[in-house]
Chain A
Amino acid sequence: DVKVTQSSRYLVKRTGEKVFLECVQDMDHENMFWYRQDPGLGLRLIYFSYDVKMKEKGDIPEGYSVSREKKERFSLILESASTNQTSMYLCASSLGQGTDTQYFGPGTRLTVL
């Protein structure tokens, strides 16, 4: 089975802090994704990566950056956390063959005070 893990289940940070969210997948998947999920809005794509060191902006990249130095690891960085970034963050990976499904980690619930 594909396993996608995220470094923290719950995180509380203060406004202005730099925040790192880590995601690791163990199935040699090409694609990795970062979403945020807010009530009533569904999932919104922040960034995705289709290869090591490659990244593409999603629908809401502002205030975020990403890093993919190794194939199995995809990091989301909040350069200066703000209260409107309080949300559930979900990482996903997929094999990368066009029409395949995505496999999700358990999520990180981030609260910015």
Chain B
Amino acid sequence: KQEVTQIPAALSVPEGENLVLNCSFTDSAIYNLQWFRQDPGKGLTSLLLIQSSQREQTSGRLNASLDKSSGRSTLYIAASQPGDSATYLCAVRPNYQLIWGAGTKLIIKP
């Protein structure tokens, strides 16, 4: 059974730092992996989607990588800002549904 783990559960860093969020999954048979952002009391917003044939995707200050063989993905955030404070979730798609990690709560201190 596919399981997705995100470590750490929470992270607090000063503004301006570069940081990496981690996501691991147990079964490499996936169609894609996605990173989402969730702001308090709100729904989720898709940040990046990496197809199983891809190694990385970039959007602005965000870069997500995928290593299927090791069951790992990272989300790199460059030059962090207070507006980046949110919970970040990763999800893998083995079939018709997404399997979710529990998220990493990120706080960027001004």
Residues of A within 8 A of B (CB): 4, 9, 33, 40-45, 48, 50, 56, 58, 90, 92, 98-99, 101-107, 109
CA A90 – CA B43 in complex, angstroms? 7
**Interchain nearest-CB distance for B33 vs A (Å):** 11
B contacts with A: majority SS: strand
Total A-B pairs, Cβ < 8 A? 50
B49 lies within 8 A of A42 (CB): no
Asked whether B106 is an interface residue with its Cβ less than 8 Å from the other chain, the reply is no
Task: Name B45's closest neighbour in chain A (CB-CB).
Answer: A104
A106 lies within 8 A of B43 (CB): yes
Known contacts A42-B4, A101-B46, A102-B98; is-contact A107 B93 (Cβ 8 Å): no
Task: Name A100's closest neighbour in chain B (CB-CB).
Answer: B49
Known contacts A42-B100, A43-B100; is-contact A99 B43 (Cβ 8 Å): no
**Interchain nearest-CB distance for A2 vs B (Å):** 10
